[in-house]
Structures are given as structure tokens and as C-alpha cells.
Amino acid sequence: MSVPATFDDILVAIQPHPKKRVAVAVAQDDAVLQAVARAEKENVAHCVLVGDQDKIRAAADAASADISAADIVHEGDTHKAALKAVTLVSSGDCHIAMKGKLHTDDFLRAILNKETGLRTGRLLSHVFILEVPPPSSASSPRRLIFVTDGAMNIAPNFEEKAQICVNAIGLARLFGIEAPKVAALAGVELVNPKMQATQDAAVLALMSYRGQFEVGMVEGPLAMDLAVSEEAAHIKGVKNPVAGKAEILLVPSLEAGNILVKGYSHLAGGRTAGLVLGAKAPIVLTSRSDTAESKFFSIACAVYAADMAAVKVKIGKVRG
């Protein structure tokens, strides 16, 4: 299987597959509706827009978004609209859930609803997908890298970090990376007893050496420069198989990942997408301030990931 290097590769790869149905929760948002219109036009997905129908139509007009191909399910109340959209997925009517104009935590609570949500019994986690250019000194092409978890698990404990790794490895494998390289990020590359992130990263790496992750390789602690720059690794004399070549960046907290990715998109103009993994179906989760393009790429990535089979890890050993 080839590895998509850009979001455009993803768009090409999904074309032969049957069209997936996306249930959008509280859809009355300009950028969401522009993404929906593009998804319909480019044959990426069919969308079911759950929300206030008058506001949806007004927002689409204001944003010049042609949503005539999408279905609308009227629900004026935000909380009920979120539950209804998620229920469309848990009932099997739609394949993917997408956050619209509501707060992330309210959307996630609908996802986690015990009766109608998309729980599987394992941890759900968020992955940002970044399309990154090669370093200026390298001849390597653009590529997609994964940053997790910058949007759902606020301050994951060690066991949660292990499961976040597993979820991201599963996604990276779906994206064609057979043995994903994970950098467990921290502020430094040495274990510092005063820095919890370095200790967690070191133990994750040890788990990896001992084969507790069925596939992939976790190394850490690694600072950001060492994870993504072979030149930095060379200068600092750090030699390991992940240094400079990380495909997954495991961040120590939501804040770290969120700031990293929003810095990339808002300061550097980087192209990003965002998904929640570990649920019964892929979930599109972007920030309300993300561009229509980012929301569209997120839909495309969710479609691509729709048949994702998660990789299992023996994290039971963590507890002995």
C-alpha cells in the first residue's frame, strides 16, 4: 500500500470507494458548510446537516456554499442536535460524525454518551494530521505527520499515553506506514526526575523495546527538534531509529499539542486536519476557527480512515 504524502493524495485515494455519509452536528457554520459543499462537489462524502435549518440555509447563503446535495435534519437545540448527529452514526445511518458550531467538550460529551454515543470501551483520543514540507536541507518530499493528543485528553496519565500511542499507530498504519515511528516528546532528551514527561516517554520507549507494542517503535524522551530534524539529531549526537524520522509526535499534554499545531497552522500557514480515534467510527474534530480547507481535509481523512482497524497493545502489563 502506498503512503499518502499530502492531503491531495488522500483525495485521490478515496475516489474509487463508495461515498461515506457524514453527520454534522450543529452545522450552521460558514466554514463547516463551505467544507461540506466542497465534499459534496468533489465526491468526497455525502453530508447530513443536523441543526437549525433556517440558520443552516442563511449561513450557507452568506458563505456562498452550495449545500443543495446535502440533507438537512432540523434540530434547533444545540445539545439535542449534537446527540442526534452522533445517533445517526451509532445507529449505522452515517459512517462519520463531525463537529460543527458548538464547543468541543459539548460535542465530545455527545460522543461519550453512554446510550447513544460512539464508545467502544477503550480510550478515545485526538490526532492532528499535518502536511509538512521537507527540511530546507533535505531532498525528501512533503509528508503527513501525526500529532497526538492536542484536543481531547487534557492531561493523560501513563496508561492513557500508551493507548493514545496505540490509536495513533493504528491510524498511521491505515495511512500505509507499516511500522510507525513514534517520538514521545518532552522538553529534553534525557530523563529528568523533575519532568514527568521525560519519565513517561522513557517508560513508553522501554515498553516498545520489550515488544509491548505489537507494531511500531516508540522512542523518547525526544525534544521536538530531535524528533523531526536529522540535522538536529546529528548536531546533538543523538542516535536512535526515530530521531529525525518521527511519523507520530506524542505530546505530553493537550496544551503542548494544541499550541504546536495551532502555531503551525496560524503562524506558518501549514495545512492540517483533525480526527478523534478509538470510537465506533471516525470523528471529524476541528477547531471552530479552523479554515474551510482544514475542515474539508479532515472530512477526507475521516473518509480514508473509515475502515481503520486499531492495533492492539498489551498495555495490561503496565499494571502488572
Give contact residues for ligand COD (rule: CB under 6 A).
104-105, 108-109, 112, 123-124, 151-154, 258, 287
Alpha-carbon span 216 to 99, nearest angstrom: 30
- Smallest gap from Cβ 113 to ligand COD, in A, equals 9
* For ligand COD, the closer CB: 90 or 258: 258
Q: What does the DSSP assignment read for 207-219?
A: HHHTT-BSSSEEE
* For ligand COD, the closer CB: 206 or 259: 259
- Smallest gap from Cβ 109 to ligand COD, in A, equals 5
- Smallest gap from Cβ 112 to ligand COD, in A, equals 4
* For ligand COD, the closer CB: 4 or 170: 170
* For ligand COD, the closer CB: 22 or 152: 152
- Smallest gap from Cβ 111 to ligand COD, in A, equals 8
* For ligand COD, the closer CB: 34 or 153: 153
- Smallest gap from Cβ 192 to ligand COD, in A, equals 27
